[in-house]
Amino acid sequence: MRVDQQLTLASKQLGQSAEIAQCLVSLRLARRVRQSEAAVRAGLSRATAQRIEKGDPGVAVGALLRYLDAIAPGMNLFQLLSGDDPAIIALERRSRPQRVRDLSTAEMKALDF
């Protein structure tokens, strides 16, 4: 009989599961790996990859670790949760809004045809 893990876990543990899932999604997007490609590399079905990325606490830890290794070979959970991967940092920089200043009068005149 299958037990719904979301009903048996405390909200704090569900939050931790969601945090791990969000870190995995960010890492996958930062490294530009498709979900289906990561699933194939890890030997998982795409449905299992979706469950991992949704934060389903019923997914086996081994499947989660294989999925992580498929996205970032050699990375462990501690490194994932620290968020210091160069790809994630670059993704955050790209997604940040940049401030644009108005042109000065001299610059406007230089651009005027």
81 is written with which tokens? Answer: 């949760």
With a threshold of 0.85, does the pTM exceed it?
no
Rg of the chain, C-alpha, whole Å: 20
- How far, in Å, CA of 19 to CA of 72, rounded? 17
53-110: per-residue pLDDT in tens? 999 988 999 999 999 999 999 999 898 888 788 888 888 888 777 777 788 888 888 8
Confidence band (pLDDT; 50, 70, 90) for 32? very high
Q: Which domains are delineated in the chain?
A: 5-111 (1.10.260.40)
Sort 69 into a burial class: Cβ within 10 Å, 0-12 / 13-18 / 19+. Answer: middle
Confidence bin at 10 (pLDDT 50/70/90): confident
